[in-house]
Structure 1
Amino acid sequence: MKWYVVYTKPKWEKRAAEQLTKFNINCYCPVIKKTQQRSDRKIKVEVPLFSHYIFVQLLEKDRNLVFNSPGVVRYLFWLGKHAIVKDHEIETIKEWLSTEETSKEISVLQYQIGDKIHLNSGPFCDQNAVVKDITKTHYVLILESLGYILKVKHKE
C-alpha cells in the first residue's frame, strides 16, 4: 500500500486523522509540541508538523474513502499525479519526532544563495537541497526531490 498526502481544512489535521482511523484507514498526522502564549500564561500544545496535511496509507482503489471525513478537502498532487510518500520517508519523520534531538539546529554559514548542498543530518538526511534565501535568522532550502521548502534556523 502507498502513502498518500491528504489536504485538510484549517485546524482539522488531528480530527481528520482520528476520524479516518475510525474508518480503519491507516493514517499519520505528525505532531510537535509548541509553546503558545495565552493572555495570562504560556502553555505547551501539540500542533501538526505540516499544516493542512496528513498522510494516509491505503490501496489505490480505496482512495475515495478519505472523503468520509468532513475535514478532508482533497488529495495533494505532484507533477499531475497523486503525491506519494515512501515508507522510509514516513519512518524518518517518525524517528526524528521520537528523538530528543529534534531541537538541534543546522548551520550552513559557508553557503551562498543558489548553492546545491547535501544534507547529512536531521530529519531530511541524505536529501539534496538548493539554498534559496539567507536571512539574519534562517536559511531557506528547497528540497527538490520532495517538493518541500525547508526553513532552518541559524546556529548561534
Structure 2
Amino acid sequence: MQTSEHKKVWLAIYTKPRAEKKVADRLEKNGFEVYCPTYTTIRQWSDRKKKVVIPAIPSYCFIKIEEHKRWDALKDPGAVRYIFWQGKPAVIKEQQILAFKRFMGEIGENEEIFSSPLSEGDKVLIRSGSFTGIEADILKIRKTEVQLILPELELKLVCQRKDIDKIG
C-alpha cells in the first residue's frame, strides 16, 4: 500500500495562455503522466481553411503526480500554478478524468482501461449495472471478473473487469 506522500493524484495546472499543449508535452518528456484534452476543428483564415487541434479547456492541463514532486512540475516555463480548493490543491478523482476521456471520445464506453493494475483491497467505482456509481472494495481478481464487497451494504458481488474503474 502506498503512503499518502507517495500516492499519485490528479491535479489541475493553470498554464500561460495558449501554452497547454506545450506544457503537457514537456511534462510528459520529464516523466509525468499528463492529460491535456483536445479536439480538432476547422479554422478560417483570409486565404485558407485549416484543421487545428485546440485544447478543450483553455489554459488548463491535468497531471497525475505525487505530493513530494508537486513543485517539480511548476518549473516548466508555461506552468503558472496549481488550482486550489479551500486552501489545498484541488484533487481530481480518477473516475472524473476517465469520464472526461469518455466524453471526449478518447476511450470507448466498454473499453477496458486501468491506470494501474488492480489488486485485492483496492477501491473501485462500479460503472454499469444495478450498482452504477457505487464504490466497492476488491476481494478477489480473476481473468475477466472481479469479486467485490460493498462496505455500506455488507454485500458481495461479482463484476466484469470492464465494468469497474480503480479509484486513486
The TM tier, using the shorter chain, reads 0.5 to 0.7
Q: Among residues 6, 11, 27, which one is paired with 2:18 in the alignment?
A: 11
Task: Give the deviation of 1:79 after TM superposition.
Answer: 2.2
Is residue 36 from structure 1 mapped to residue 48 from structure 2 by the alignment? no
Asked if residue 45 in structure 1 is aligned to residue 19 in structure 2, the reply is no
| Shift in Å, 1:78 | 1.6
Find 1:86's aligned residue among 90, 93, 97.
93
How far apart are residue 68 of structure 1 and its match? 2.5
Structure 2 segments unaligned to the other structure (5+ residues): 1-7, 107-132, 134-168
More helix, by proportion: 1
2:111 aligned residue: none
Aligned-pair CA distance for 1:80:
2.0
One-letter amino acid matched to 1:90:
I
The normalised TM-score by structure 1 is 0.61
Structure 1: distance between partners of 2:86 and 2:41:
33
Counterpart amino acid of residue 54 in structure 1 = C
Shift of 1:58: 0.7
For residue 91 of structure 1, what is the amino acid of its counterpart?
Answer: L
Two-structure CA RMSD over aligned residues (Å): 1.4
The 3-state SS of whatever aligns with 2:71 is helix
Residue in structure 2 matched with residue 98 of structure 1 by the alignment: 105
Point out the structure with max Rg over C-alpha: 2
Deviation of residue 81 (structure 1)? Answer: 1.6
Offset at residue 61 of structure 1 (A)? 0.9
Q: CA deviation at 1:37?
A: 1.1
Looking at structure 1, the residues matched to 74 and 89 of structure 2 have their Cα atoms a distance apart, in angstroms, of 15
TM, length-normalised to structure 2: 0.57
CA distance in 2, matches of 1:68, 1:74: 10
How many residues get paired? 100
Query: Using the alignment, how far apart are the partners of 1:20 and 1:50 within structure 2?
Result: 17
Structure 1 runs of 4+ with >4 Å offset: none
Q: How does 1:1-156 map to 2 (within 5 A)?
A: 1-98=8-105
TM superposition shift of 1:44: 1.8
Residue identity opposite 1:11 in structure 2: R
Deviation at 1:72, TM superposition (A): 0.4
SS of the residue aligned with 1:35?
strand
Cα deviation for residue 41 of structure 1 reads 2.1
